[in-house]
C-alpha cells in the first residue's frame, strides 16, 4: 500500500497559481523546473502588503520636489497598503532581475504624486530602502544610475549594523575595494563581490548574491531545500500508509497497490489529500 504522488510538482502548481492569479504573470511557456526560481524572484521584488514602521537614516533628506510623493508613499507604508505601484515597471516582467536588490538587498521607489496606469508617475530621483518584516529602513534619495554607490552600504552600516550583522565577514581585511563601475560590470555578469565600508568592516552580499543565471543565491538554496523536504514528506507518508489502512477501508478501499495523494499547503500546515477517498492527513505543521 503506497502513495502515488509528486509533492514537488504539486508545489510548483501552487506557485504557478500565485504567479498567475495574484501577480498577473504569464507562465504558459515557462518550464516547471524554473517556476520556483521565478516565483522567489518575483516575491523578493514585491514587498508584502503589511504595516511597517518607517525608520529614516541619520543623513536622510528628501528634496522638496519629491517631498509630497514621499509623504504619500510613507502613508502607504505605515498603513500597510500596496506599495508595488512605486516600484520599477520591470516588476511586471516575470524574468526581470534587480541586481542591486540581489547584491545589497536594497529596493528603489519612485516618488511621484499621481498614478499613470498601474504605476505612480516616474521620477528621476529615487528612494532607496532596506525592508525588514516590520521596518522600512529609509536610506536616502539618490539619482538614477546610483545603483552601485557605496554610500548606500555606508549608510546602512552606520545606522543599522545589527540588521546586517549576519553578513559581516569576520577576520577579513580587504586591501582593494571594488569601484562603483567595477561593481556594475560584475553585476552585469551575475558575479558577486564583497563590499568594504569606511571603518574596514567587510560585508558579503547583503541581498544574498547571485548565481550565474542571475537568480538570487537564497532562491536557489530555498528551492533545493524545499524539494528535499517535500521528498522527505512523501517518504514519511509512505511509511505511515499501513497505519491508515483501516481509515481507507472505511472509505471503500479494496486493496489497490497505489493511492493518489495531492499536496495541499495552508498558512498553518502541509497536508496530503487523497481525492478518491476524501481523506486528508497532516504532514507538517508550520512553526
Confidence of residue 5 (pLDDT cuts 50, 70, 90): very high
Report yes or no: 148 and 100 within 8 Å, Cβ to Cβ. Answer: yes
| Structure letter (DSSP) for residue 59 | T
Residues 260-280 pLDDT 10s = 999 999 999 999 999 999 999
**Residue 151 CB neighbours (<10 A):** 15
Q: In whole angstroms, give the CA distance from residue 232 to residue 238.
A: 10
Residue 41, domain member (yes or no): no
| Degrees to nearest 5, angle at CA 169 with 167 and 173 | 140
| Degrees to nearest 5, angle at CA 123 with 121 and 129 | 105
* The pLDDT of residue 205 is above 80: yes
Residues 210-269 pLDDT 10s = 999 999 999 999 999 999 999 999 999 999 999 999 999 999 999 999 999 999 999 999
The answer to whether residues 252 and 173 belong to one domain is no
The answer to whether residues 147 and 106 belong to one domain is yes
The domain of 254 spans: 220-285
Residue 20, domain member (yes or no): no
Confidence of residue 49 (pLDDT cuts 50, 70, 90): very high
Residue 151, domain member (yes or no): yes
The answer to whether residues 209 and 249 belong to one domain is no
The answer to whether residues 197 and 259 belong to one domain is no
Residues 29-44 pLDDT 10s = 999 999 999 999 999 9
The answer to whether residues 185 and 226 belong to one domain is no
The answer to whether residues 150 and 253 belong to one domain is no
Residue 254, domain member (yes or no): yes
Question: Comparing C-alpha atoms, which of 89, 44, 14, 88 is closest to residue 214?
Answer: 44
Q: Could you identify the residue written with the cell 506599495?
A: 83
| Structure letter (DSSP) for residue 128 | E
Residue 35, domain member (yes or no): no
Residue 3, domain member (yes or no): no
The answer to whether residues 225 and 132 belong to one domain is no
* The pLDDT of residue 147 is above 80: yes
The domain tally of the chain equals 2
Domain termination site, one of 215, 242, 275: 215
For the segment 140-151, the average pLDDT, to the nearest whole number, is 95
**Residue 241 CB neighbours (<10 A):** 16
The answer to whether residues 168 and 58 belong to one domain is yes
Q: Which helix (H) or strand (E) holds 155?
A: helix 151-159
The answer to whether residues 252 and 131 belong to one domain is no
Residue 18, domain member (yes or no): no
Angle between helices 35-45 and 7-17 (to 10 degrees): 40
| pLDDT at residue number 25 | 97
Report yes or no: 206 and 164 within 8 Å, Cβ to Cβ. Answer: yes
Domain termination site, one of 215, 232, 262: 215
Residue 17, domain member (yes or no): no
- Beta pairing, strands 126-131 & 135-142: antiparallel
**Across-strand partners of 108?**
128
The answer to whether residues 94 and 151 belong to one domain is yes
The answer to whether residues 67 and 163 belong to one domain is yes
Average pLDDT, the chain: 95
| pLDDT at residue number 175 | 59
Domain termination site, one of 215, 240, 272: 215
Report yes or no: 148 and 101 within 8 Å, Cβ to Cβ. Answer: no
Question: Comparing C-alpha atoms, which of 98, 106, 94 is closest to residue 23?
Answer: 94
SS (H, E, C) 194-250: CEECCCCCEECCCCCCECCCCCEHHHHHHHHHHHHHHHHHHHHHHHHHHHHHHHHHH
The answer to whether residues 211 and 224 belong to one domain is no
Amino acid at each position: 500500500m503506497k502513495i502515488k504522488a509528486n509533492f514537488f510538482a504539486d508545489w510548483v502548481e501552487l506557485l504557478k497559481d500565485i504567479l498567475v492569479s495574484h501577480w498577473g504573470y504569464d507562465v504558459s511557456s515557462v518550464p516547471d523546473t524554473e517556476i520556483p526560481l521565478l516565483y522567489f524572484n518575483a516575491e523578493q521584488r514585491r514587498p508584502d502588503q503589511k504595516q511597517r514602521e518607517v525608520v529614516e537614516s541619520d543623513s536622510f533628506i528628501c528634496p522638496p520636489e519629491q517631498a509630497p510623493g514621499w509623504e504619500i508613499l510613507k502613508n502607504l507604508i505605515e498603513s500597510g497598503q500596496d506599495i508595488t505601484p512605486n516600484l520599477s515597471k520591470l516588476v511586471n516582467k516575470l524574468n526581470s532581475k534587480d541586481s542591486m536588490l540581489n547584491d545589497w538587498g536594497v529596493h528603489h521607489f519612485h516618488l511621484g504624486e499621481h498614478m499613470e496606469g498601474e504605476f505612480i508617475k516616474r521620477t528621476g530621483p529615487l528612494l532607496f530602502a532596506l525592508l525588514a518584516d516590520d521596518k522600512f529602513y529609509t536610506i536616502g534619495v539618490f539619482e538614477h544610475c546610483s545603483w552601485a554607490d557605496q554610500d548606500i552600504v555606508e549608510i546602512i552600516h552606520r545606522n543599522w549594523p545589527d540588521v546586517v550583522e549576519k553578513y559581516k565577514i569576520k577576520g577579513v581585511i580587504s586591501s582593494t575595494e571594488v569601484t562603483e563601475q567595477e561593481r556594475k560590470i560584475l553585476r552585469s555578469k551575475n558575479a558577486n563581490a564583497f563590499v568594504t565600508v569606511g571603518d574596514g568592516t567587510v560585508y558579503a552580499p547583503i541581498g544574498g548574491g547571485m548565481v550565474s543565471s542571475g537568480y538570487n543565491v537564497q532562491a536557489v538554496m530555498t528551492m533545493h531545500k524545499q524539494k528535499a523536504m517535500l521528498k522527505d514528506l512523501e517518504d514519511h507518508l509512505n511509511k505511515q500508509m499501513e497505519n491508515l489502512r483501516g481509515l481507507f477501508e472505511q472509505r471503500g478501499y479494496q486493496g489497490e497497490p497505489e493511492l493518489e495523494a495531492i499536496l495541499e499547503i495552508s498558512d498553518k500546515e502541509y497536508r496530503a489529500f487523497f481525492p478518491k477517498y476524501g481523506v486528508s492527513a497532516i504532514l507538517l505543521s508550520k512553526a
